[in-house]
Amino acid sequence: MLVAADKFKGSLTAVEVAERVTAGLRRIRPDLRVEALPVADGGDGTVAAAVAAGFERHQVRVSGPLGDEVTAAYALRDGTAVVEMAEASGLQRLPEGVFAPL
């Protein structure tokens, strides 16, 4: 069985969802062969899903959504990079109540 789980935004990462679904399945059927694969839709959580798939996490300073410098991550493996815009300029980078990025 394949558990391909995305995040539950605001509560669990894709890795955590996959782990919990796998644990629940094994509680019912301990002998069940389960492969957990965290996935993402290209938005927030994409770098974390790539790291869970064997990519290496790297950090870099970039311009945030208000023009200030922030630290963002990307994933790299064998010359392939996974970049997630939300890491640099997602809503989580804005002050609470501010929804007007530059």
**pLDDT reading at 98 higher than 90:** no
Alpha-helix residue ranges (DSSP H) falling in 1-102? 14-28, 46-52, 85-89
Give pTM, 2 decimals: 0.75
CA 24/CA 11 separation, integer angstroms: 18
pLDDT bin (cut points 50, 70, 90) of residue 55 is very high
**pLDDT reading at 19 higher than 90:** yes
pLDDT bin (cut points 50, 70, 90) of residue 45 is confident
Cα-based torsion angle of the residue sequence 86, 46, 19, 13 in order, rounded to the nearest 10 degrees:
0
**pLDDT reading at 71 higher than 70:** yes
Candidates 71, 60, 75, 61; CA nearest to 93 is 71
Q: Give the model's pLDDT for residue 10.
A: 81
CA 91/CA 102 separation, integer angstroms: 12
Q: Give the model's pLDDT for residue 102.
A: 66
